[in-house]
Amino acid sequence: MGIGWGVLKQMSDTFKYNRSLLGKKKTAREAYKEEIRRRGTDFNNVDVKALRTRVAKSLMRNRTQEVLSRLFAGLLLASFVGGMIWIATSVDFTWKK
């Protein structure tokens, strides 16, 4: 008996749910609008220079955090693969009689 419709639907729903948990990248325009909403002001009473500075810092912080997390994940994967290669080459797999 193969994989049934219920299992495939459950996998699809799980993937959709996991994708919804991931943060979506924001464009600069969305970041500006969110920052204005967060401050509780409207578009007319905004100090544009200060707003641009805050949003630029926020976007830079997000980029830096993303690069660091990708770097950490890559190093973790490389160390895992290196460890597996080291185990495969250093352990003696011959049978002793």
**Average pLDDT, stretch 16-23?**
74
pLDDT per position as a tens digit, 25-66: 667 677 777 777 776 655 566 677 877 787 788 778 878 888
How far, CA to CA in Å, does 6 sit from each of 1, 38, 50, 67? 13, 43, 53, 38
Residue 30 lies in a domain: yes
Is the predicted pLDDT of residue 2 greater than 60, yes or no? Answer: no
Half-sphere exposure of residue 62: CA atoms within 13 angstroms, side-chain side: 13
Is the predicted pLDDT of residue 1 greater than 60, yes or no? Answer: no
Ranges of H-type helices in 1-97: 5-21, 28-39, 48-90
Q: Write the CB contacts of 63 (distance below 8 Å, at least 6 apart in sequence).
A: none
**pTM of the full structure:** 0.47
Residue 96 lies in a domain: no
Residue 14 lies in a domain: yes
Residue 25 lies in a domain: yes
On whether the CB atoms of residues 36 and 42 are closer than 8 A, the answer is yes
Give the count of domains, the chain: 1
Residues of the chain with pLDDT > 90, as a percent, come to: 20
Residue 44 lies in a domain: yes
Q: Name the average pLDDT for the chain.
A: 79
Q: Determine the straight-line distance between the first and last CA of the chain, rounded to whole angstroms.
A: 43
Residue 84 lies in a domain: yes
Residue 97 lies in a domain: no
The two structure tokens encoding residue 59: 């976007």
Domain holding 13, by residue range, is 5-90
Q: What is the reported pLDDT for 68?
A: 92
